Amino acid sequence: MKKKLVAAIMAATMAVTCLAGCGSSSSGSSSSDSKSESDNASIRFDWWGGDTRHEATQKAVTDFQKANPNIKVEVNFGAWDGWEAARALEYQSQTGSDLTQINFSWITDYDKGGSAFVDLNDYKDIIDLSQYDQSVLDMCKDSNGGLAGIPVSITGRTFFWNKTTFDKAGIDIPKSLDDLIAAGNTFKEKLGDDYYPLSLSTYDRALLMSFYLQANTGEPIIDESGKLTVTKDQLVDGVKFIQNLEDNHVMPSIATLQEDGDVALNENPKFIDGHYAGVFEWDTASPKYVSNLAEGQEFVVGTELTGLGDKCLGVSDKVSMLFAITKSSKSPKAAAKLLNYLVNDPEGVTTLGTERGIPASKAAYDTLSKAGAISDDMSTAHAEVVDSDPLYFSPKFDDASLKDSATGAYQDVFEKLSSGSYSVDEAGQKLFDAYNTVLAE
């Protein structure tokens, strides 16, 4: 924890965020309640994301303020780069925004002992917690049992395919591991060395490896008690599985992806034109890929792969992000009113749409479903995840020391495994050590 905070403080000195004043909102039926503390309250709300999320959220905040003129909302938003480091420093120094968007792993990373975020059970008269399954809320508890955040959405990984490229190769999109490996060889023979059925970053490889291991053990790779459920030898087998995909021309090497340029996969020209014909992504991610594809390319939702193991499909799902109220807030009731508006109120929910995924709130889901605001691709992909009997996803899997795209263990292990700098035995040992270090904190 101390190492994370020191690293965050150093990074935060270089982080630049976008601060903009904006007002907005309506809490629907609760817009005139809880006046005592909320009278003339001034709160700050922060989030990260892309332009469309910024635009939708600013409009929701503006609408909220119109319905609650006694609450002034200042907003702070920006891109992901440097965002976590800056927020970590604020949480530690008790200078954070009143309402803050957080990742699932931040509860264990920055709210140890309930020091950063309030227990939202204390505001259940303002926030309608009945719209959430208790099992989902239980995932969002801090170490003291308090509700550290409200889950905005639940998500999981599945496969998406460029059907046009597969048609060009004369084969169906993969439904099993055997299909996928066979596709690699077919792509090479029929389309050329620069065509691949799948493209995976280092973090994608870590996630797919976890699916493989979970399919063979029937347990989450890190269980709810924080225990690593696999041995070093099983991790060696896991990284061997990943390397086997690369060796069979299923996916390009990390070096090849780096040569493509420092761009996200959906912006990679080889994805756009169909040379990279598959992605392993969050169930709500399809719009950013579809919108970038070249004309004439058909992008379809696949299925969770069978044949990874004999115990289960190996799929896991997680809380993708949450809204939390910081302990430093001087107006937590006003922040709670804004929070409830964003996740439960029909007006706020409609404005935000699916910018943060398919809502976990039953009321929000019903609102968007009736409005036809959840795309068919997104709905189909989400069903693939939830219907696969998903296993628990530990926030520890996303610990910064593992996931960081520059210095994390996943980047180190899978980049060096891909280049041949690590053998599968060395890579498995490195991951085993990295997991145990995180779980010992």
Q: Which residue has the higher pLDDT, 11 or 395?
A: 395
Q: At 112, is the pLDDT very low, low, confident or very high (cuts 50, 70, 90)?
A: confident
pLDDT digits (tens, 9 = 90+) for 17-63: 444 444 333 333 344 444 455 568 999 999 999 899 999 999 999 99
Candidate from 103-112, 117-126, 194-203 with smallest mean pLDDT: 103-112
Of the listed ranges 8-12, 116-120, 193-197, 428-432, the least confidently predicted one is 8-12
pLDDT of residue 10: 45
Start and end residues for every CATH 3.40.190.10 domain found in the chain: 2-154+319-382, 156-316
Contact 324, 411 (CB under 8 A): no
* 436: number of Cβ within 10 Å: 11
The CA dihedral of 360, 364, 370, 376, to the nearest 10 degrees, is: -40
Average pLDDT, rounded, for the chain = 92
**pLDDT score, position 24:** 37
What's the confidence (pLDDT) of residue 178? 99
**In this structure, are residues 277 and 187 in contact, taking their beta carbons and an 8 Å threshold?**
yes
Q: What is the pLDDT of residue 310?
A: 97
Amino acid letter, residue 314: G
Could you tell me which CATH class the domain 2-154+319-382 is placed in? alpha beta
Lowest average pLDDT, out of 10-14, 145-149, 404-408, goes to 10-14
Per-residue pLDDT tens for 296-348? 999 999 999 999 999 999 999 999 899 999 999 999 999 999 999 999 999 99
Strand locations in 139-251 (E): 150-162
Q: Cα–Cα distances in Å, from 438 out to 1, 148, 191, 423, 431? A: 9, 21, 43, 23, 11
The CATH class given to the 156-316 domain equals alpha beta
* Residue 441 pLDDT: 82
Predicted confidence (pLDDT) per residue in 232-276, tens digit: 999 999 999 999 999 999 999 999 999 999 889 999 999 999 999
Q: What is the pLDDT of residue 362?
A: 97
Give the tens place of pLDDT for each residue, 141-156.
998 999 999 999 999 9
Q: What is the mean pLDDT of residues 393-406?
A: 92
| The token pair that represents 112 in the structure block | 């140890």
Rounded to whole angstroms, how far apart are CA atoms 114 and 256? 44
Contact 417, 187 (CB under 8 A): no
Residue 136 CA to chain centroid, in angstroms?
Answer: 16
Residue 37 confidence (pLDDT)? 54
Local structure of residue 267 (DSSP, 8 states): G
Question: Over the stretch 60-80, which tens digit does the pLDDT of each residue have?
Answer: 999 999 999 999 999 999 998
Strand pairing class (391-392; 316-325): parallel
Distance of alpha carbon 335 from alpha carbon 48, whole angstroms: 18
What mean pLDDT do residues 289-298 have?
A: 95
Is the pTM higher than 0.75? The answer reads: yes
Between 5 and 401, where is the model more confident? 401
User: Tell me, what's the pLDDT at 11?
Assistant: 44
